Amino acid sequence: MSRLVVVLFVSLMVFSCKSKKGIVTKKPNDTVTPVNKNENDKVEKPTKVYANNTERYIDIHKVTAQQEMSLYGIPASITLAQGILESGSGKGRLSVEANNHFGIKCHGWSGKKIYHDDDEKQECFRKYKDAKYSFRDHSLFLSERKRYSKLFKLKKEDYKGWAKGLKAAGYATDKKYPQKLISLIERYKLYEFDKEVMGDTYVKYKSPEVNEAVTYTVVKGDTLYSISKRYNISVEKLQNINGLRDSALSIGQVLVVKPSSKN
């Protein structure tokens, strides 16, 4: 009887051990998603929002314009303003289909071409593989042509001088071309990109002040001689300034006694 009890006891012990081995305990997962986090949620980077196409254009091409300034000395502000104006902020046909951001015509160009109505119908324009090549060609176009050489004698801070110089050299036929460039530069503060390139050497350019002309209205008893003495000017110069052929004057006549610095 006692032997039977021992056998039963041993059998129970063996069964108990096998049961324990069958139990698997999972280790804590170090990468468990927090309770309050939905595993399907994805973190998305915020998309940059622009007020208009021009701001987008500036953001895309500002670095390229600065690189061209470092290499060729053309103010980044001028390059960007021309690009904005000529390409319609990157939305014009030439910029979209030909990556031509500056309206540069063929002029002996051996590369790919595109035809577009401009001053005349179906004029030939250069076509580029990438916009950056258009910016480089713009730099070469200005720096290698003699008619633009005077521009490179101007201070890089003098964007107004560059804008007027481009029109004077024949870059554009639009009479308001300089004003349009200057307006873009000042509206979008494109001169800040010139500052970044020039660093400590940048000095804000101030155009020479233009003094207004001084005039005098003739009253009874005045003569050219008396007026010349009053304003410390010779009679001959007074006549030349006002286009007078003789010394005759009339009451109420307005004479320029000191021309403006502009004229």
Domain 53-201 has CATH 1.10.530.10: yes
Query: 103-108 — which CB contacts under 8 Å span 24+ positions?
Result: 104/134, 104/137, 104/138, 104/141
pLDDT for residue 32 = 44
- Topology (CATH) of 214-258: Membrane-bound Lytic Murein Transglycosylase D; Chain A (3.10.350)
Amino acid at 24: V
pLDDT for residue 119 = 77
Which residue has 């000042």 as its token pair? 186
Q: Which two tokens stand for residue 1?
A: 């009887």
In whole angstroms, what is the distance from residue 162 CA to residue 92 CA? 24
Cβ burial, residue 242 (10 Å; 0-12/13-18/19+): middle
Residue limits of CATH 3.10.350.10 in the chain: 214-258
Which residues lie closer than 8 Å to 204 by C-beta, 6 or more apart? 157
Mean pLDDT by groups of 10 residues along the chain of 263 residues: 55 54 48 48 69 97 98 98 97 96 92 90 95 97 95 95 94 92 96 96 75 82 90 89 86 84 58
Q: Determine phi and psi for 29, rounding to 5 degrees.
A: -90, 120
pLDDT for residue 35 = 45
